Structure 1
Amino acid sequence: MTLDRFVKKRVWALALVCLQWSAGASAEQTADEGPALASAVTCAGDDRYERGLERLDQITQGQGRAVVNSLSDISPDLGRYIIEYPYGDVFCRSGLTDQQRQLATIAALAALGYTAPELRVHIHGALNVGLTEEEVVETMILMSVYAGFPASLHGLRAAREVFEARAQD
């Protein structure tokens, strides 16, 4: 089995575990119960770009837009795709809460092990939609089982950076 195939299998397995783990507490959330936004309520409109930009801002509170803007000189098309597909389509589906999506996202990014900038953005997003620092840390501990200790340690370093940055704000 190639390393790429091995990593992909592990990422899928850990995403499923994280979703199952978080489903009990988060599945009951609605838009008026706090920061976990209900996707169906916040994803009105037919324009994928506008809908995606709104979701991106709701979840990342400006950090995601900075990533997209950083692509404007080299690949504005990729920036548009990031807004339209993940945020305009996938993050607007009603099957998961924003907390569940962010939990699965940070788990997958941590498992990959080479995505520190993206992981930091999504840890911010996880905290923005109502996950706690403890839940983020527990997710990184879980990654030691499914993705190995190096991935877990890298994830914890990214989490520490985010927690410290948010404490300074």
Structure 2
Amino acid sequence: MPLNTSPTPTRYQQGLARLREIDGEAGERVIDSLADIAPDFARYLIEFPFGDIYSRPGLDLRSREIAVVAALTAMGNAAPQLKVHLQAALNVGVTRPEIVEIIMQMAVYAGFPAALNGLAAAREVFAEGDAAG
């Protein structure tokens, strides 16, 4: 049996590829926004969530983004991150009606204010998508 000599991607390389696959330009803007104040934190964001967690087997990207949208909605205070992940959810095949249902479901567990904040974020992301064509 031949030895596998293809290089194994580093956590950073794997994470950056996964970030681009999920978030596209929005994810890269988040990373770029940290370059002048916390470049190490930007590296951690690529390596751990995207290089380690998002790259694990067991859940597809669509399922992972459904979980993230639910979690960020339930937090109720993470609108910028929720907007990035709402776009990511759309990027990996979650539909707008599904997103609305996910957010509405959070009213049961996180309360109406958190769900209302989530719906407001979704409205903005959907409107930006409509404006972009």
Q: CA deviation at 1:62?
A: 1.1
Give the counterpart of 2:108 among 126, 129, 145: 145
Conserved 8 A contact 1:45-1:51:
no
- The equivalent of 2:21 in structure 1 is 58
Does 1 or 2 have the higher relative contact order (CA < 8 Å, sep 6+)?
Answer: 1
1:103 aligns with 2:61: no
Output the CA distance in 1 between the equivalents of 2:38 and 2:73. 25
Correspondent of 2:93 among 114, 121, 130: 130
Gaps of 5+ in 2: 1-6
CA distances 1:6-35 after superposition (whole Å, capped 9, x unpaired): xxxxxxxxxxxxxxxxxxxxxxxxxxxxxx
Q: Is the 8 A contact 1:60 1:124 kept in 2?
A: yes
Q: CA RMSD in A?
A: 1.0
Over the matched positions of the two proteins, sequence identity in percent amounts to 50
What TM-score do you get using the length of structure 2 for normalisation? 0.92
Count of aligned pairs between the two proteins: 126
Contact 1:137 1:156 in 2 (8 A): yes
Runs of at least 4 residues off by over 2 Å: none
How do 1:64-79 and structure 2 match up within 5 A? 64-79=27-42
Structure index of larger Rg:
2
**In the aligned structure 2, how far is the partner of 1:54 from the partner of 1:168?**
27
